[in-house]
A and B are shown apart, each in its own frame.
Chain A
Amino acid sequence: MLALLGVLVVVAGFATKRNPLLVVGVAGIATGLLGGLSPRAVLAAFGTGFADSRSVTVFAITLPVIGLLERYGLQEQGRALVARFARLTTGRFLALYLILRQLTAAVGLVSLGGPAQTVRPMVAPMAEGAAERRYGTLPDRARERVRSFAASADNVGLFFGEDCFLAVGSILLITGFVNTTYHTHLEPLDLAVWAMPTAACAFLLHGARLLRLDRTLERELGGGAGALAGSARTEEAAA
């Protein structure tokens, strides 16, 4: 039971905003020692843990080629390609991004999107732009909501897309853990297939919520009044 204190170390460490690497390291040492392992065994656990989980980090091998392509304008080309879909409402645009993110993640292209690569430079501005075309300048509350939903579309798309790809960290972790601990043989492909029902639910559920965002914006900023208020505010700002 004492070993559960390690969980508390993690909670306390994160609550006080220490470096996560340090928190996890300390939690590991504390849990090991409290759980009755000798200091040597704790060191060995860190060693074997690292050796057995190398598959989680091997995606780093793709960084040189992605970096090279970025030097030659991969992101710019992606932006140009996505810009062709600009004639959409906020909700529809984000739902489209959600499915694109899911599909690309499902074939292993997890680093095509992300908060820094796509959400900040493209997805959030385009989502805002779609709303502004309808309602004029957005009040802060609506702007924050649109941006938050842009970030959420990226996360939901990534999380519930990537597990349909065989070589993703979490799938390899499942097979790695189960195959070594329980001496069985689980195929990554079976796991990837069974990640698909949840992926479909994620698209339907979050997609519906993104489309509802359109209705929420319509209700709050609604019709002509909102657009008038918006343009009035723009004029004020201009004056």
Chain B
Amino acid sequence: MIRAEWFYWLVGAVFLAMAAQMLTDRSNPKRFGTAAFWGVIGAGFVYSTWVADKRAPAEPLGAAVLVAVCLAGFGLTGRGQVRTTSPEERAASAARLGNRLFVPALTIPVVAMACAVGVKKISFGGTPVLQSGSETILGLGIGAIVALVVAMVMLRERRPSVPLHAGRGMLEAMGWALLLPQLLATLGEIFQQAGVGTAVAKVTEHVLPHGQTYTAVVVYCVGMALFTVIMGNGFAAFPVMTAAVGWPVLIEQAHGKPAVVLAAGMLAGFCGTLCTPMAANFNIVPATLLELKDQYGPIKAQLPTAVGLLACNIVIISVFAF
């Protein structure tokens, strides 16, 4: 059986290998901090295996995460010069290879889908090939490996360090933004443990009359959107609003279908992402890239759509969940 943890080790190993490349990259003025940041995350990915099945203490990992947060948070990480081809070389190569370039890129989703739908059902002697419950993640990993092999054969590229360098360039460009979703998920869990969900639930209990399912749907969706506006990300809002309203009221009390409630609830949060400057990577970065005078230009273009879609999500839950 192929286990999900093996795949996490592979991701950790890739981060560690990239960290080693960063350490020797003299074009990066902050190479030590950058290498330390990704090294800590890579090692954390591997160590997490034993934290997840509770055979190792979680505290050292927590400390390591906070070290990574400080490294990136205090500006100790940076970027090296990207080693890539010239625009002319790329244009010539694109003209030569044409649409074949899309083949490896499309291999990833095709393999991932195949694993999630087909390979999932295959088993040898009662043991499934892919660890059950993790087929989609494993599909992504297997898809990426297959795609890399296909690409290297197609492009006649023999040095594994080339794709590793190319990927490292993007990793450095994304920097802390890559860790933020994971940290926001962590914050969501801490909010949960510290009782933020219960606190919000208490507040909503006062506001929300008992047994009014449709009012609760509105509260859940609008709450998801507002919380996302504050937190800049639906990931942090989701555990709070789901613990406060989504699960106890809509699913347990009103017997709503979990898949409908939670999928549309998350998308109600995405409506919030469309209107918040906190989601800097989606709303502020494009304004800068497009040299807009009005930093809020994209948000203004998105606001009416966000409000309309929030209403759509409320209707979808109300109609299909009960």
Q: Which residues of A pack against B, CB within 8 Å?
A: 1, 3-4, 6-7, 10-11, 14, 18-22, 24-25, 27-28, 31-32, 34-37, 40-77, 80-81, 107-109, 112, 115-116, 119-120, 124, 140, 144-145, 147-152, 154-156, 159-160, 163, 165-167, 169-170, 172-174, 176-179, 181-182, 184-195, 197-198, 201-202, 205-206, 209
Separation of A185 and B258 alpha carbons in the complex (Å): 10
Separation of A69 and B84 alpha carbons in the complex (Å): 11
Q: Once the chains bind, are B65 and A21 in contact (CB under 8 Å)?
A: no
Q: Once the chains bind, are B309 and A3 in contact (CB under 8 Å)?
A: no
Separation of A128 and B199 alpha carbons in the complex (Å): 49
Residues of chain B at interface, number, CB under 8 A: 147
Q: Once the chains bind, are B101 and A77 in contact (CB under 8 Å)?
A: yes
Q: Once the chains bind, are B270 and A160 in contact (CB under 8 Å)?
A: yes
Pick the most buried of A69, A193, A209: most chain B CB atoms within 10 A of its CB: A69
Given contacts A31-B194, A61-B11, contact A193 B259 (CB under 8 A): yes
Q: Once the chains bind, are A197 and B105 in contact (CB under 8 Å)?
A: no
Interface residues in B208-241 (C-beta closer than 8 Å to A):
230-232, 234-236, 238-239
Separation of A150 and B316 alpha carbons in the complex (Å): 28
Q: Once the chains bind, are A48 and B290 in contact (CB under 8 Å)?
A: no
Q: Once the chains bind, are B10 and A148 in contact (CB under 8 Å)?
A: no
13 contacts between A and B (CB under 8 A): A3-B195, A6-B190, A19-B176, A35-B193, A45-B186, A61-B10, A73-B97, A108-B140, A140-B293, A197-B312, A201-B309, A205-B309, A209-B305
Separation of A50 and B75 alpha carbons in the complex (Å): 21
Identify which of A21, A59, A73, A182 contacts B94 (C-beta below 8 A): A73
Q: Which residues of B pack against A, CB within 8 Å?
A: 7-8, 10-11, 14-15, 44-45, 48-49, 51-52, 57-66, 69-70, 72-75, 84-85, 87, 89-95, 97-99, 101-102, 104-106, 108-109, 112-113, 116-117, 133, 136-137, 139-141, 143-145, 147-148, 151-152, 155, 157, 162-171, 176, 178-196, 199-200, 202, 230-232, 234-236, 238-239, 242-243, 247, 258-260, 262-264, 266-267, 270, 273-274, 278, 280, 282-283, 285-287, 289-290, 292-294, 297-298, 300-302, 304-305, 308-309, 312-313, 316, 320
Identify which of A46, A57, A159, A166 contacts B181 (C-beta below 8 A): A57
Pick the most buried of A31, A67, A72, A115: most chain B CB atoms within 10 A of its CB: A72
Q: Which residues of B contact A201 (CB under 8 A)?
A: 308-309, 312, 316
Q: Once the chains bind, are B136 and A166 in contact (CB under 8 Å)?
A: yes
Q: Once the chains bind, are B179 and A21 in contact (CB under 8 Å)?
A: yes
Interface SS, A side: helix
Q: Which residues of A contact B165 (CB under 8 A)?
A: 67
Q: Once the chains bind, are A119 and B290 in contact (CB under 8 Å)?
A: yes
What 15 additional pairs, Cβ within 8 angstroms, besides A47-B61, A61-B7? Answer: A41-B193, A46-B62, A49-B183, A49-B185, A67-B165, A68-B152, A68-B167, A71-B84, A73-B94, A112-B105, A151-B301, A197-B264, A198-B309, A201-B308, A209-B304
In the complex, residue of chain A having the shortest beta-carbon distance to the beta carbon of B261: A194
Q: Once the chains bind, are B180 and A64 in contact (CB under 8 Å)?
A: no
Q: Once the chains bind, are B274 and A156 in contact (CB under 8 Å)?
A: yes
Separation of A166 and B179 alpha carbons in the complex (Å): 21
In the complex, residue of chain B having the shortest beta-carbon distance to the beta carbon of A179: B133
Q: Once the chains bind, are A4 and B94 in contact (CB under 8 Å)?
A: no
Q: Once the chains bind, are A50 and B98 in contact (CB under 8 Å)?
A: no
Identify which of B116, B186, B287 contacts A189 (C-beta below 8 A): B116
Q: Which residues of B contact A154 (CB under 8 A)?
A: 286
Q: Which residues of B contact A147 (CB under 8 A)?
A: 290, 292, 297
Q: Once the chains bind, are A55 and B188 in contact (CB under 8 Å)?
A: no
In the complex, residue of chain B having the shortest beta-carbon distance to the beta carbon of A110: B109
Q: Once the chains bind, are B98 and A70 in contact (CB under 8 Å)?
A: no
